Each structure stands twice: as C-alpha cells, then as structure tokens.
C-alpha cells in the first residue's frame, strides 16, 4: 500500500493504449451436482464465511498452520494431499449486479483453454499487510478454468509466523517467492501477478529470474524504476493522501530513537482506504487477517536492468476508485515506465480481488492468452 509523505498530486499525462473492462452483465448461471439433478446458484457468501471462520480458527490455535492449501508459500509438506474444495451454497439469495458472477464454463467456452496457453501457471503475490488469503476468489475462478495457481505468503505475512518487525531487507521479505522460482523445473515458466507493494516484490524477482517469468501483471501496484524505492515513488510524486496518513501507525520495536520497524493500519479505516467498494464480509476477513508491513523493504531501492527485468513482458491493471494508490499515481508510474498494455478495471477499489473478482479474473485470463 501507498506511503504518502508530500502534498501535491502528480500531473496527468497521456497514456499508452488502454483497454477498458466492462463486465456489467446481469447474467445468472447454475450448475448440476453429480449427486442430484437440481440446479443451484453459486453464492460466494459461504466461501466468505468459511474463510473468516478459518482465519479466526487460526488465531485460536496458538500459531498453528491453517489447513488451507491455496497458499504455496513453501510452508506446506511436499506432495501433501490437497484438501477438499470449499462447498457450494444452495442459497437462493440474489447476487449484487455490480460484479455479476460468470460461470467458469462460460469463460472456457470463450476460447479459453489452459492446455493450449503458452503458460498456464499463475503465481499470485499479495500486497503490504495482506497474505495469500486475499486471493481466495481469484484462485477459485482460475482453477475452475484449469489454470495452475500458486498464492505466496511473503515473509511475515498471512500464515507465515515470522515477526514483520524483524524483517531487515527486501530479499528477506521476498524469499518465499524467490525460493519458489528457484525450484521451478528447467524450462518451466510462470505468470507473476503482484498487487500493491507486491509490485516491487515481483520486480525484484523479475531481475533475478527473468527466464522463469513469461509475463508480469501489476494490479494497482508499485511499478518502480531502477534506483527507486517504494517510499521514493510516493514521496517524489508529491501525492497527498490524508486518509493514508490517518490510517498509518508506525511501529518502533527497536526504540523510538531508531527508524520504524513496521507499519500497521488502523482497522477502523480499512474499509475507506482499501475496500471502499468491497463486500462487508471481505472487509471482516481482512480485519482479522491483515498484519503489519515491514518498513525496511519499503525503503530499499531496486536495482533493475534492461537485460533481466526489462526482458519480461509487463502489463498493468488500473483501479480507478482506489483510495490507497490513487489513479493519478498509477498513471504517473505507467508513463515513467510504460508496460506493454494497460487495462482499466472499471469501478474497482484498491482490492479488485474482493470488489471485482469476476472482472479481474477475465482480465487475467485475457492477459494469459496474449501471444
């Protein structure tokens, strides 16, 4: 998430060609269970309830690991059996029309065949304070379309038990991602997706393992130039964000006379800052799951080269209703380091995996199909 220290907003500049995503269809869908013939509507409220229950259960287990195999932060036992998929709901509650649910079967019928894609393995990297848990809707939709999906818990995030206040560098913070990439088989490539501060994290990984990354997708993310840190980006753009200033709470575990060790967010301001268009149940999930953001990685300047980082195809997904990284700042980053293509996710707040999951899914599939 953004860290704003100055007062003026960056000038709006002309952008490269954009593709606007319009997914306001009010279509409904139903599926047939193998054990019965009756139709039932997919209701993501049950998925939300299970996720919240799982997060609460984890907190009650004194540091135990969640039985949630969607996260591949290299904390699981190799070759362990996958858990049963989350149950569908037979509720007949009408869905919101703001982001209508599209059937995975319909997406597959739109010439989406993961077996024919150059790369069908997508690696999801969360933003500051988040964890692999935030991608649960995206994981479910992509896996329904036969993509292979890995969601990473960075050090001190999600269910990783390391104290965020003890993280000293970006390499330490990103270690679960770089370890994962290092262990990929020779010739295997993935699509990296980074949200928020996860943009700096995937940039770091792109510099180290360009041959293992087919494409990089930045979602409302910090897309930095070489020699720039996330803090530099927000400072030099003179971006004013009073809500961010109010929400940030710096932690000083080494003493008040030394630099901050981490940044926490005021839980009472989470909805307005990060989830202004997201469902209340997802906000509740975030309020019990988000953790402090380690401060040293935010200060660290990236060293990026054209030969490595520059060789990976980059795409950017904008979130116009974003209160954490405003659209003007997103456009400034895009203009200073233009990606191959820019998409705009209409109506999305800072967390499109909650507020616009189906629209985000369609864009991820579309980018995966680009040759």
Identify the band that residue 99 occupies on the pLDDT scale cut at 50, 70 and 90.
low
- The verdict on whether 69 is a catalytic residue reads no
Annotated catalytic residue, options 195, 277, 350, 361: 350
Q: Burial code of 197-208, b = ≥16 C-beta within 10 A, e = fewer? A: bbbbbbbbbbbb
Assess whether pLDDT exceeds 60 at residue 291.
yes
pLDDT tens digits for 309-328? 999 999 999 999 999 999 99
CA–CA distance, 258 with 252 (Å, rounded to integer): 7
Annotated catalytic residue, options 99, 153, 196, 349: 196
- The verdict on whether 350 is a catalytic residue reads yes
- The verdict on whether 266 is a catalytic residue reads no
CA–CA distance, 105 with 332 (Å, rounded to integer): 38
pTM as predicted: 0.73
Annotated catalytic residue, options 277, 322, 349, 361: 322
Identify the band that residue 233 occupies on the pLDDT scale cut at 50, 70 and 90.
confident
Which residues, 6+ apart, have CB-to-CB distance to 316 below 8 Å?
217, 218, 221, 223, 330, 333, 334, 339, 341, 342, 343
C-alpha count within 13 angstroms, C-beta hemisphere, residue 8:
5
3-state secondary structure of 106: helix
pLDDT of residue 118: 86
Average pLDDT for 341-364 = 98
């Amino acid at each position: 998430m953004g860290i704003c220290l100055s007062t003026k907003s960056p000038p709006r500049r002309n952008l490269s060609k954009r593709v606007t995503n319009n997914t306001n269809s009010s279509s409904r869908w139903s599926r047939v269970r193998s054990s019965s013939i009756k139709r039932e509507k997919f209701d993501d409220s049950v998925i939300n309830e299970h996720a919240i229950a799982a997060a609460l259960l984890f907190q009650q287990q004194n540091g135990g690991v969640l039985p949630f195999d969607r996260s591949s932060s290299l904390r699981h036992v190799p070759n362990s059996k996958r858990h049963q998929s989350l149950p569908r709901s037979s509720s007949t509650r009408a869905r919101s029309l703001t982001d209508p649910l599209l059937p995975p079967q319909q997406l597959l019928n739109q010439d989406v065949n993961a077996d024919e894609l150059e790369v069908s393995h997508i690696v999801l990297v969360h933003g500051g304070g988040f964890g692999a848990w935030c991608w649960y809707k995206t994981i479910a939709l992509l896996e329904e379309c036969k993509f292979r999906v890995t969601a990473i818990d960075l050090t001190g995030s999600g269910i990783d038990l390391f104290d965020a206040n003890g993280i000293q560098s970006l390499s330490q913070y990103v270690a679960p991602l770089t370890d994962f990439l290092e262990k990929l088989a020779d010739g295997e490539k993935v699509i990296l997706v980074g949200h928020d501060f996860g943009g700096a994290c995937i940039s770091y990984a792109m510099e180290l393992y360009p041959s293992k990354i087919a494409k990089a997708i930045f979602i409302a993310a910090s897309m930095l130039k070489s020699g720039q840190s996330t803090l530099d980006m927000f400072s030099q753009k003179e971006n004013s964000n009073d809500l961010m200033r109010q929400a940030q709470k710096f932690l000083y575990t080494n003493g008040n006379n030394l630099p901050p060790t981490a940044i926490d967010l005021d839980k009472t301001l989470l909805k307005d800052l990060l989830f202004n268009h997201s469902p209340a149940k997802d906000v509740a999930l975030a309020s019990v799951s988000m953790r402090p953001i380690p401060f040293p990685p935010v200060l660290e300047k990236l060293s990026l080269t054209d030969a490595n980082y520059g060789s990976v195809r980059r795409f950017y997904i904008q979130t116009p209703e974003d209160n954490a990284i405003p659209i003007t700042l997103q456009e400034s980053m895009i203009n200073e380091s233009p990606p191959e293509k820019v998409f705009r996710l209409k109506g999305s707040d800072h967390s499109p995996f909650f507020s616009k999951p189906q629209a985000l899914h369609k864009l991820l599939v579309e980018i995966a199909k680009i040759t």
